[in-house]
Structure 1
């Protein structure tokens, strides 16, 4: 029974990881409000190493429609601007020599629908990851049958994993509904 609990715990841990990854990916999808996390994943060449913008500059949001980036060194303004322009954010940086400002335009209805589609893609990836975790957990438990574990114990463990799977899928749907509401609200 200890082995079964180990596999169930490992499966739940993998499902938790899928939810955490989903939340990270959804935080990158903007809902019309400025957020420093929008720049997560953007890197610059900083002393020969790829460095996140937040690692080479102070990133703040002075208001709901603006991101302010204050580089730690004046020499990296061009690198930061280039990284932002080449990203999929669709933002145009404005440099005043001290701070780079990014104005976040209000979202159009069409853009909101596109963002919801992107969210749905991330949601589907998360659901697939949850189902894969369930399958891996069930396969690991079924292998215990050869080690003398009863079929009833295996069936009970599979039922536990299915209940966890259902709970995580419901959690994912709830996360999507909140994000969709956030994106579609004007």
Structure 2
């Protein structure tokens, strides 16, 4: 490949891996019938006039598979945490006991499982779009480099490498989606 004109393929790969990491983070917040602390990642609390992530106002524990407990540090925040969890759309009903909040995780019914599986598919599609956008940026860089004097053979090599990175990333996304949907539909 040409010494003067370089395409940063490592940067493209890093950006594609970022899309996969974002997908895994999104999947961690999806309920699968088992309690995980990451289920509460999207919940924010109005703490002293600022929207604050729940893990910055309380200690989150998972003492058993169907229960999450929150040990809230400031007594004044208990009501706000309760309200934030109820309005989060997670379908959880907090049980307040002093500064301890218990979140029993209810069983998922078949309809809710289908909705969550569909949502997992939407998350995967968004990740695929992000990967394709990175591919498009890479191909645009190759075209620009070709105009700046990159040989046709080198341009073909770069294009093939970018396409193989894209294919690998899409394959990983499909595998993650399939795994998550199996996990959600498992009773």
Q: What TM-score, normalized to structure 2?
A: 0.95
In the TM superposition, what is the alpha-carbon distance from 1:49 to its structure 2 partner? 2.2
Please give the alpha-carbon distance, in whole angstroms, between the structure 2 residues aligned to 1:63 and 1:174: 28
Aligned residue for 1:4, secondary structure, equals coil
User: Per-residue displacement from partner, 1:112-134 (whole Å, max 9, x unpaired)?
Assistant: 11100000000000011111110
Q: Which runs of 4+ in 1 moved over 4 A?
A: none
Structure with the higher helix share, 1 or 2: 1
State whether structure 2 residue 182 is matched by structure 1 residue 151: no
List runs of 5+ in structure 1 lacking aligned partners.
Answer: none
Please give the alpha-carbon distance, in whole angstroms, between the structure 1 residues aligned to 2:47 and 2:125: 36
List runs of 5+ in structure 2 lacking aligned partners.
Answer: none
Please give the alpha-carbon distance, in whole angstroms, between the structure 1 residues aligned to 2:186 and 2:36: 17
> What residue in structure 1 maps to residue 6 of structure 2?
4
Contact 1:62–1:68 (Cα < 8 Å) also in 2: yes
Q: CA RMSD in A?
A: 1.1
Please give the alpha-carbon distance, in whole angstroms, between the structure 2 residues aligned to 1:52 and 1:91: 17
In the TM superposition, what is the alpha-carbon distance from 1:37 to its structure 2 partner? 0.5
In the TM superposition, what is the alpha-carbon distance from 1:41 to its structure 2 partner? 2.1
State whether structure 2 residue 122 is matched by structure 1 residue 85: no
Please give the alpha-carbon distance, in whole angstroms, between the structure 2 residues aligned to 1:74 and 1:164: 51
> What residue in structure 1 maps to residue 174 of structure 2?
173
Q: What TM-score, normalized to structure 1?
A: 0.96
Aligned residues: 185
In the TM superposition, what is the alpha-carbon distance from 1:5 to its structure 2 partner? 4.1
In the TM superposition, what is the alpha-carbon distance from 1:88 to its structure 2 partner? 1.3
Please give the alpha-carbon distance, in whole angstroms, between the structure 2 residues aligned to 1:145 and 1:87: 50
